[in-house]
Chains A and B, each alone.
Chain A
Amino acid sequence: MKQYYFTTQKMCVGYENKPLIKDVEITLEKGEILTLIGPNGAGKSTVLKSVAGQLALLGGTVYLGESAVSEMRGNELAKKMSVVFTQKVRAELKTCRDVAATGRYPYTGRFGVLSKDDWRIVDEVMELTHVTDIAGQNFEKVSDGQKQRVMLARALCQEPEIIVLDEPTSYLDIRYKLAFLSILKEMRQKRNLTVIMSLHELELAKIISDKILCLKGEYVERYGTPEKIFETDFIRRLYGMENDGFMQDERFCAYIRQLSTI
């Protein structure tokens, strides 16, 4: 059998014992990019939280290499997996550099004081995510797009093997959307970083992903390579647009068709 880096077996996710999505089976090799797509409320964030160990699984197991995520110690997992989620970040009186530096937590000692080497890593990562110019600014005063890149820097400061992102490009303009995704690609090339994320932008999902997971209803609708997912009419079915009146408009139809051609 082939050895995968990240696997979920019969993963069942949901809140308070109410299963939302059952039997999620994901297999990823090291350095692959997986994108979750699906309509609003389909449970993309729930899957991501569960994968990151922040929400207890209702069934099944998530494996990183050989070991189950639920059995790893907090610090051990923190050195392997980091997250960029949509929750508001509290950063009272912190500069952007301070926020990025909080990612060094798993590597610092009893009192959490960063060494020179830690700061060097922070500065390198900030360079990589193009936030060096705002390093000294108050985090709460910078734009949403800048915040998002600082949060990516924070996650990368953890030096993870796998990174989990929930709609990381939502607040960014087109230039920064592409810049953001190209950083992920660069990290994959340089450090063999594995990526699991959710995206709303289908056209971006199509060009960046190695695998795509479509969520709709109680089960995974479809899982596979972008070529397999973006078949004619699948997108229309996934988002439940077959009977929508506005799809009578020829230009809308053309837009959807365009998405579906590889």
Chain B
Amino acid sequence: MDKHRKYRYIMAFALLAACVLFFFILNICMGSVEISLSEMMRVWKGQSGTETLRRILWDIRMPRAAAVLILGGALALAGYLLQTFFHNPIAGPFVLGISSGAKMTVALVMIFLMGKTIRVTSADMIAAAFAGALLSMGFVLLLSRRVKGMSMLVVCGVIIGYICSAVTELVVTFADDADIINLHNWSRGSFSGMTWENVEVMTAVVAMTVLFVFWIAKPLGAYQMGDVYAANVGVNLKLLRVCIVIFSSMLSACIVAFAGPVSFVGIAVPHLVKKLFGTAEPLLMIPACFLGGSTFCLFCDLLARTMLAPTELSISTVTAIFGAPVVLWIMVRKKVDKHH
């Protein structure tokens, strides 16, 4: 039994890693300028290629693909943490209004700082998004004490999301014309315009948070069983809850700060990954969800860029097309399970 399991885990990890690599390369090669694999390798080694080609590869596509890889992973992991926290398979940063909360504070800070012609740094954005994410999370937590049942919690989250989006729309309407174009693209969710500076900052923040998440993998596993049994084996529930809230908010904030709100990845990916591995064990799920999120977002961003080129779709449009059906499937299946 155990040998069979180990084999399955290794195969699943190998599959995910291969997918990440495959889509990463496709993201770099495909686009308005097609680059063949051999050409890419030559430019990489600096043997040939025009200056333009090098620019496209090195300054545009590489940082973008790297950002998608990191943020996609972070998003799926945030979803996994929230689902574990609420014991709710359809929880995620987007449906619980956490992304929208982060979006709101980022928009406010951006407009405020731009109005004073102060340059907005990556760190400012993350800090603003983190504050917004925690604010929304606080509301959701307050509501979760009052409402029972997984669907009601999600409804509350969606409403919080709407309120935050309305506030965002309001401030964007009053902002200067020049800012709007920037804000508008971002507030719909997009991975475009990533720089290496962005990638460096997000790598540092996400890597650190993921390490912390690994650090709570063991109590997280006990927490999945329910409060009574987690407490019985010696888990400090209060401390663990605070940790999950902070880590998931940090991950969600990071995505919103750089790419805006991205829908459904947080719910769909952990679910698919659990099915692939046949386990919900945190120690396996943490890296697996990360790789799964990277794969899913690299795939979706590729479509967003190329499907209607030269027009670029917002990333949420694509993730919703592939992610939303999974969510529906989860909900329908839950009902079926209850009846049997």
User: Residues of A at under 8 Å CB distance from B?
Assistant: 52-54, 73-78, 81-83, 85, 87-94, 99, 102-103, 105-106, 108, 110-113, 136, 154, 158
Q: Which of A52, A77, A87, A92 contacts B280 (CB 8 A)?
A: A92
B274 interface residue per 8 A CB criterion: yes
CB distance from A16 to the nearest CB of B (A): 14
| Chain A nearest CB, measured from B182 CB (Å) | 42
What residue in chain B is nearest A81 (Cβ atoms)? B232
Q: Which residue of B lies closest to A85 (CB)?
A: B228
**Number of chain B residues whose Cβ lies closer than 8 Å to a Cβ of chain A:** 24
| Pairwise interchain contact B234-A89, C-beta atoms closer than 8 A | no
Q: CA A87 – CA B231 in complex, angstroms? A: 13
Among residues of B, the one whose C-beta sits closest to the C-beta of A76 is B234
Bound CA–CA A102/B234 (angstroms): 12
Given contacts A102-B221, A110-B218, contact A88 B226 (CB under 8 A): yes
Nearest Cβ distance between residue B194 and chain A, in whole angstroms? 33
Given contacts A102-B233, A111-B218, contact A89 B283 (CB under 8 A): no
Taking a contact as CB atoms under 8 Å apart, the answer to whether B225 and A106 are in contact is no
Besides the known contacts A94-B280, A102-B221, A105-B235, 7 further A-B residue pairs in the complex with CB atoms under 8 A apart: A53-B231, A78-B233, A87-B227, A92-B274, A94-B279, A108-B218, A158-B233
Q: Are A105 and B222 in contact (CB under 8 A)?
A: yes
Bitwise interface map of B from 8 to 43 toward A, beta carbon under 8 Å scored 1, else 0: 000000000000000000000000000000000000
Residues of B within 8 A of A54 (CB): 228, 231-232
Q: What chain B residues lie within 8 Å of A105 (beta carbons)? A: 218, 222, 233-235
Asked if B241 lies at the interface with its beta carbon under 8 angstroms from chain A, I say no
Q: Which 4 A-B pairs have the closest CB atoms?
A: A74-B234, A112-B218, A78-B234, A105-B233
B214 closest partner in A (C-beta): A111
Q: Given known contacts A93-B274, A93-B278, is B225 in contact with A74 (CB within 8 Å)? A: no
Chain B residues with Cβ below 8 Å from A53 are 231
Question: Given A111-B218, A112-B283, A136-B1, does the pair A90, B234 have CB atoms closer than 8 Å?
Answer: no
A110-B218, A111-B218, A113-B283 given as contacts; is B225 within 8 A of A82 (CB)?
A: no
A87 touches B226 (CB 8 A): yes
Contact partner of B234 (CB less than 8 A), chosen from A106, A113, A136, is A106
Known: A82-B232, A102-B233, A113-B283. A91 touches B225 (CB 8 A): yes
Complex Cα–Cα for A113 and B234 (A): 16
| Chain B residues close to A by CB (< 8 Å) | 1, 87, 214, 217-218, 221-222, 224-229, 231-236, 274, 278-280, 283
B10 to chain A, nearest CB (A): 16
21 CB < 8 A contacts A-B: A53-B231, A75-B234, A76-B234, A77-B234, A82-B232, A83-B228, A83-B232, A87-B228, A88-B226, A92-B274, A99-B225, A102-B221, A102-B229, A102-B233, A105-B218, A105-B222, A105-B234, A106-B233, A108-B218, A110-B218, A112-B218
Considering only CB atoms, which chain B residue lies closest to A82 in the complex? B232
Complex alpha-carbon distance, A141 and B279, angstroms: 15
How many whole Å from B336's CB to the nearest CB in chain A? Answer: 13
Contact A112 B221 (CB under 8 A): yes
By a CB distance below 8 angstroms, the chain A residues around B222 are: 102, 105, 112
- Residues in A whose Cβ lies below 8 Å from that of B221: 102, 112
Known: A77-B234, A93-B278. A111 touches B225 (CB 8 A): no
Q: Which residue of B lies closest to A90 (CB)?
A: B226
Checking A102, A112, A136 against B225 with a beta-carbon cut-off of 8 angstroms, the contacting residue is A102
Cβ of B225: which chain A residues have Cβ within 8 Å of it?
A: 89-91, 99, 102
Once A74-B235, A112-B217 are accepted as A-B contacts, the answer to whether A89 and B279 lie under 8 Å apart by CB is no
Residue of A nearest to B222 (CB): A105
Chain A residues whose CB sits within 8 angstroms of the CB of B226 once the complex forms? 87-90
CB distance from A219 to the nearest CB of B (A): 27
Chain A residue with Cβ nearest B274: A93
Specify which chain B residues have a CB less than 8 angstroms from the CB of A73 in the assembled complex: 234
Residues in B neighbouring A77, C-beta threshold 8 A: 234
CB–CB A111/B233 < 8 A: no
A94 to B224, CA, bound (A): 11
A30 to B251, CA, bound (A): 50
CB contacts (< 8 Å) of B217 on chain A: these are 111-112
C-alpha spacing A85/B225, complex, angstroms = 12
A154 to B231 Cα, complex, angstroms: 14
Known: A93-B278, A112-B218. A74 touches B236 (CB 8 A): yes
Q: Identify which of B87, B217, B221, B225 gathers the most chain A CB atoms within 10 Å of its CB.
A: B225
